[in-house]
Amino acid sequence: MESIGFKEWAIVCAALGRGRQSIILRKGGIAEGSEGFSFQHREFFLFPTWFHEQPQKVRDAELEMPEPSAGRIEVKYLARLEVARVISSWRIAEALEPLHILTPEVVRERFEYDQAPGLHVGFVRVFELSPAWTFVDEKKFGGCRSWVELPEAPGELRLEEVSSDADHARAREDFLRIVGEIK
């Protein structure tokens, strides 16, 4: 298992880890480089962040805002990317709403960010780690970038799917129908 972290709002990591979200919407961070964002890895740990995080920008009022640990990072979930697409249609971006917790305003802001409207969307299968993986927060994890190299993952991590096979298959079918890959 490669030790790569995908930086995402802690509240979105929690939604993914509770099966309330099955996609990742990304435009790209300031430090993504000249080529911009792409889903570079098929399997990655969800690295919770609090930078720029604003709980009022999500639609799920039942989700509790996770608390950061001073000087420590606690990784609770691993994601496996099953489908990655770039969408350039606002109609499709709007239709993805049942698969994520972000407000329409946040999605619109991301969609319209920079010269080329659109979003990278990844459909993921999420697994809960047991036990959670905690390590020291370091300066190298900072900055506005999506991918970070993590310390070597402990060997004793167990993975448990957060959604049943049936729920996951239903969400995947919904995703593929919305992006126009099945009728």
Question: Which is more confidently placed, 143 or 175?
Answer: 175
Nearest to 39 by CA among 146, 111, 174: 146
pLDDT at 34 > cutoff 80: no
pLDDT at 53 > cutoff 70: no
CATH number for the domain running over 4-178: 2.30.130
The residues, ordered by sequence, that sit 6+ positions from 95 with a Cβ below 8 Å of its Cβ are: 178
| Per-residue pLDDT at 28 | 67
> 98-146, pLDDT tens digit by residue?
999 999 999 999 999 887 889 999 999 999 999 999 999 999 998 888 8
> 54-88, pLDDT tens digit by residue?
778 888 777 777 888 888 999 999 999 999 999 99
DSSP 93-110: HHHTGGG--B-HHHHHHH
pLDDT at 183 > cutoff 90: no
Count Cβ atoms below 10 Å from residue 81 Cβ, excluding itself: 17
Beta strands in 33-171 (DSSP E): 43-49, 72-87, 119-136, 147-149, 158-161
Nearest to 7 by CA among 97, 86, 63, 75: 75
Question: Which is more confidently placed, 70 or 94?
Answer: 94
Question: Which is more confidently placed, 19 or 183?
Answer: 19
Q: How far apart are CA 76 and CA 48, in angstroms?
A: 9
Task: Report the percentage of the chain scoring pLDDT > 90.
Answer: 70
Helices (H) and strands (E) counted in the chain, each on its own, are 4, 7
Domain ranges for the chain = 4-178
